Amino acid sequence: MSIYKKVLADDFFRLHPMLQKRYAFEEPVFRASGTMNRIVGGPKWLTPLFLFGARRKFIFPESGTFIAFTIVNSSSVNLAGVEEIHWERTFNFPNKTRYFNALMSLDERRMVVKDYLGEPPLVYSDLQFTVMNGGALKIESLDQRLVIGKLEIPLPTFLQGLATVVESYDELRGVYRIHVDVKNPLLGTVFSYEGEFTADA
């Protein structure tokens, strides 16, 4: 049973059937491609921080419209016997390829998804998963920590970039739709993107 089925429990079956198929991980790899209609990077004065994040396949400073996008989700079991889901999100800007990668696993005691962002990880976040009316999936980040090697330092609220992700399935067009918004309590939106993708055959 995938970590997403476990964390959502009975609510998993309230997801749109195509989202159930996507998050059940009956196949070990999910591949898809599409277009991000809009990508908004952070404030210009944060560009050095975002460039450092880009080197770690995390957050990046570029903005744009109609950017080619691919996603690969891979399920595996680590040496400790824990299921992990690797997320590789690729954004193909005209002159630059950027990534937004993560590694997720389940904390079964607290029933939250653990999310390590970047490669090697730069930020850790607890994730809360809920099912919205209409069968869309909502993912919200909770407490975050800065990751420095094996050291994890809790971040005060004013330094956190809290993400809200809504993924749905558009039956009319036969596409998955995604909207990601990362906000800081002081600065507002610091990173966001929205668009659509279809599973590769």
Q: Is residue 66 part of a domain?
A: yes
Q: Is residue 168 part of a domain?
A: yes
Q: Is residue 84 part of a domain?
A: yes
Q: Is residue 22 part of a domain?
A: yes
CB 76 within 8 A of CB 86: yes
CATH of the domain at 112: 2.40.128
CA–centroid distance for 172 within its chain = 25
What is the block-wise mean pLDDT of the chain (201 residues), using blocks of 10 residues? 96 98 96 98 88 95 97 96 97 97 97 97 98 97 95 95 97 97 93 97 73
- What digits encode the pLDDT tens for the residues 22-44? 999 999 999 999 999 999 987 88
- What digits encode the pLDDT tens for the residues 108-125? 999 999 999 999 999 999
* Count of beta carbons in the 10 Å neighbourhood of residue 190: 20
Tokens of 91: 């954004």
**Residue 161 to residue 77: CA distance in whole angstroms:** 29
Percent of the chain with pLDDT over 90: 95
Q: Is residue 201 part of a domain?
A: no
Tokens of 107: 């904390």
pLDDT for res 4: 98
Return phi, psi of residue 157, to 5°.
-55, -40
Residue 173 domain boundaries: 3-196
CB 115 within 8 A of CB 124: yes
Number of separate domains in the chain:
1
Q: Is residue 56 part of a domain?
A: yes
pTM of the predicted model as reported, rounded to 2 decimal places: 0.95
Q: What is the mean pLDDT of the chain?
A: 96
